A and B are shown apart, each in its own frame.
Chain A
Amino acid sequence: MDQRSRVLKMYEMMYLIRKCEEKINELFLQGILPGTIHQYIGQEACAVGVLFDLRKEDYVVSTHRPVGHALAKGVPLRAVMAEMFGKATGCCKGKGGSMHLGDMEVGMPPAIAIVGAGLPIAVGIGLACKMRGSDNVVVCFFGDGASNEGAFHEALNGAALWNLPVVFVCENNLYAASTRVDKAMKVENIADRAVAYGMPGRVVDGMDVLKVNEEARVAIERARKGEGPTLLELKTYRFCGHSRTDPCRYRNRKEEEYWLSRDPVKLLAEYILREGLAREEELADIEARVLRSIEESVEYALSSPDPEPEDALRDVFYGE
């Protein structure tokens, strides 16, 4: 794929995640969508930049904020939307919900909503990749909050010790729920912690999808060649609350304005136009196509059947 096509595809996916999340928020606020939501708005460059060059057979381990990761890894939009509604046609047949999106067909086990708990599991998937002699890799997303969990320590130590093909991607959006990162750790960069495990750690601008992609490709390549794990810290920001209707009273407006001025979707659009990779009308075409697909996915989800209540009693054990 040439650079122009790559960048336009990245834009399409980022725009899709952004608009999909906005639609989900709208449906949630209208009371149409059940449950709770943890939105990815503002962090789109992280999922897209990291996952863009991953193969279908590679794995991704996600968090309670999984919409961006799921779409960028290739979980079909309709199945994501239907799962948000708890429908039988959802990617988890309605048993997962907004925090547990996944689809093993594209290498994504159900997202793990216990903070930090996905890291040791990613290590295990990496171990399996290595033991089976494949060159598949695992990308493990987590937040700044997770880097303070004990599981982070055990997982990074293990992955480094066994030289496993895992790329640890910390999306540092500065807040673990309402707790600002400087209230939770003394170090400025989470990537600096990599030193403690004997693996490379890189700080990356998480609002610049091309920079993210560049660093991710290095880390993925390193993992694929059997050279071991990397810790990437993507400095980013969520443009929404932690969950539901959180008004973010714990953040100051100046900080928000700064990060909003670095909107990753907008930055990429500007880059595309500046570099002459596409004209405005071409971007508008992409956007219109994306918006149609989202509308279509909502119709699909709403018209999908609910699961039978008794289906709740199935799948406790595999194959039984």
Chain B
Amino acid sequence: MPRMTIAEAIRQAIREEMRRDPTVFCIGEDIGIEGGFGGPFTVTLGLAEEFGHDRILDTPVSEILIAGAAIGAAIAGMRPIAEVQYADFIFCMMDQIVNEATKMTYMSGGTVKVPMVIRAPVGATGRGAQHAQSIEGFFTHVPGLKVICPATPYDAKGLLKTAIRDDNPVLVLEHKLLYGSKGARSERAALSLVEEVPEEEYFIPFGKAVVCREGRDITVVANLLMLYRALEAAEILEKEGISLEVIDPRTLVPFDYETVIASVAKTSRLMIVEEDTRRNGWGAEVAAQVTEDAFYYLDAPVKRVATYDVPIPFSPVMERYVIPSVERIVEEARRLMSS
């Protein structure tokens, strides 16, 4: 079985789906330019050679066009995969996504379908405030949009294939430090995530979380990069006799409350770790929902560990401070155990 990074696994998913279905195509900035870099994080590298420039469609720097063209093409029978260079740029296409993509099916009384994927790299990586944001909170709020966040190569392939075949708009959040992009496009602080990814076809359904580490004392729900920080914190705390059960939700809309609540029933404590800023984030929603549905399982208030409510600063020292660190997770977990 080949070993792949997330970038390679996503590329593999796109390649498989494009080979199978002629209506699948990619659209975005710098994704297929010869001599270019296959998108900012190499995901589409080499695909134009196989599929041609009509199906790996480079656009002008025009985010409204990218989103609108994807929506229109989807309405008219295609399955576009739109790429946003950095998730921050998605705000240029906010109207297209929020007012158009997610409302077409509904406004048409369920007759129009919009099968489109939008891929957006999130996460703070030493680039300052406008190439750094985690955007979950904005988009999990919008009815009619599915939001997924694969954190492993295996999940990336299986979830993306499900997304491409979904008949609805799906936003795929990919973390810059998890891609494993190589060469000149590699990220300095990137995690080295390589794992075996089956060559054969497989799908991961939306709304199925995965328990990445079993534990007794605290249920920790963490996505993308925060999943790895939570796992690291779990290692440290294990030595102190605090046992974390770490859950990767994998998809935020739909969200697998069943798995989370089953875990809380066992641990009686819940912590949510997210890289998005804290106020009104997806963590707040999970906290509220679990409190509504499983209050009597809880021995302590639900704890959110999130990025502070500030823009992402450039200074590496400050950036490290505002994003939840392993140390902060450890600290908050100790406090949660003593409450």
Using a CB–CB distance below 8 Å, which chain A residues touch chain B?
59, 61, 90-96, 100, 102-104, 109-110, 112, 114, 117, 119-129, 131-132, 150-151, 154-155, 157-158, 161, 314-320
Contact = CB atoms under 8 A, between A and B. Distances in A.
A151 B71 CA distance: 14
B138 interface: no
Given A120-B65, A123-B72, A131-B78, A92 B60 contact: no
Given A127-B73, A158-B60, A117 B108 contact: no
User: Which 4 residue pairs of A and B lie closest in terms of their CB atoms, listed nearest first?
Assistant: A124-B72, A120-B68, A93-B109, A315-B110
Given A109-B108, A114-B99, A117-B96, A125 B59 contact: no
A264 B267 CA distance: 74
A192 B144 CA distance: 39
22 contacts: A90-B109, A93-B110, A104-B108, A104-B111, A114-B95, A120-B67, A120-B71, A124-B70, A124-B71, A126-B72, A127-B73, A128-B73, A128-B75, A151-B95, A154-B63, A157-B60, A158-B62, A158-B69, A315-B106, A316-B106, A317-B168, A319-B113
Contacts of A120: 64-65, 67-69, 71-72, 96
Interface of B: 23, 25, 54-55, 57, 59-60, 62-65, 67-78, 80, 95-96, 99-100, 103-115, 143-144, 146, 167-168
A191 B33 CA distance: 32
A59 to B, nearest CB: 7
A121 B108 contact: no
Residue of A119, A314, A316 ringed by the most chain B CB atoms within 10 A: A316
A121 B80 CA distance: 13
Given A117-B96, A120-B64, A154-B65, 9 more contacts: A102-B108, A112-B99, A124-B71, A124-B73, A125-B72, A158-B65, A315-B108, A318-B112, A319-B167
Contacts of A314: 110
A75 B106 CA distance: 18
B170 to A, nearest CB: 10
B78 to A, nearest CB: 5
Nearest to B60: A157
A318 B105 contact: yes
A255 B204 CA distance: 63
Contacts of B75: 104, 109, 121, 124-125, 128
A155 B70 CA distance: 12
Contacts of A127: 57, 69, 72-73, 78
A166 to B, nearest CB: 10
B60 A317 contact: no
A302 to B, nearest CB: 19
A59 B64 contact: no
B52 to A, nearest CB: 11
Nearest to A319: B167
A157 B36 CA distance: 22
A218 to B, nearest CB: 24
A161 B168 CA distance: 28
A92 B146 CA distance: 23
B62 A128 contact: no
Given A151-B68, A319-B113, A109 B78 contact: no
